[in-house]
Amino acid sequence: MRPLGVTLAAYFQIFRAALLCILALGARFLGGMTARLASVASEGNAAQRFFSGFGHFLLMAFLIYAAILIVLGFGLLWRQNWARSLTIIFSGLGFLILLPRLLHFHPFSFLFGTLNLLVLIYLLAAPARAFFIGKPTAEITPA
């Protein structure tokens, strides 16, 4: 039976991916609006091409990252140790990226930073490692 913490960590990854998809669509929408505004404001097309291209870039970058998070979430649900390892890396990086905003206490940054830290700590703990390796917790040596 899968531990509740692993299930919650997997759902957190999938939730992050859904938020990234919404952010990607917003970046695409704003990129398109900015490109049209730039084309109206100036005679040249350089600003329009830049903002349009930047919107496309953000859309693709966010969608790729969201796809990776979805794969990690389902990998955790399917008891894949590679998903545990990559989730540890992504949660650690997510916490480090949000660390400056945690110090100034932005509510959403604080929430996601705390959740990233909890996922990181939980997946590094012996019971979670034992679940993914398939051994009893007593046989796991501290890392």
> Each residue of 82-91: pLDDT tens digit?
999 999 999 9
Angle at 110 between CA 107 and CA 111, to 5 degrees: 85
What is the share, in percent, of the chain residues with pLDDT greater than 70?
81
Amino acid at 86: L
- Look at residue 39 in the predicted model and tell me its pLDDT: 63
- Look at residue 10 in the predicted model and tell me its pLDDT: 97
Amino acid at 93: L
Higher per-residue confidence, 6 vs 52: 6
pLDDT digits (tens, 9 = 90+) for 12-66: 999 999 999 998 887 777 766 666 666 666 665 666 667 667 777 888 898 999 9
Kindly state the tokens that stand for 123.
């997946």
Higher per-residue confidence, 4 vs 48: 4
- Look at residue 122 in the predicted model and tell me its pLDDT: 96
